[in-house]
Amino acid sequence: MTELGIICRTYAPIRVAQWKKVEQKDKEQIYNLIREDDGESVGPIEFWKKTHYTAKGWKTPMAQQLYVSFFLFYFYFIN
């Protein structure tokens, strides 16, 4: 599944058979969800949080656990 697929399923319950049939205005809203204010794409850790964390908290305990794992992996091995 692509990043846009995750965002569509999470934030935009669009009922179309194919991405090319989604209206451009709806695509723009979805694109904006994965961009920061300066127009840069977010990194994978921040993307995970944006797609799995809401004002009510983590969508599932597994989502939170994976976020922590991603963060620790990035902190120790990438950064």
Name the percent of the chain lying above pLDDT 90.
9
Give yes or no: residues 36 and 48 share one domain: no
CA pair distance 58, 15, nearest whole angstrom: 25
Give yes or no: residues 1 and 37 share one domain: yes
Give yes or no: residues 48 and 25 share one domain: no
- Would you state the pLDDT for residue 21? 79
CA pair distance 74, 44, nearest whole angstrom: 10
pLDDT tens digits for range 7-48: 667 766 567 777 777 788 877 777 677 665 455 666 777 878
How many domains, the chain?
Answer: 2
- Would you state the pLDDT for residue 39? 57
Range of the domain at 56: 43-79
Which position has the higher pLDDT, 75 or 59? Answer: 59
- Would you state the pLDDT for residue 3? 60
Give yes or no: residues 53 and 23 share one domain: no
Give yes or no: residues 21 and 31 share one domain: yes
Give yes or no: residues 47 and 36 share one domain: no
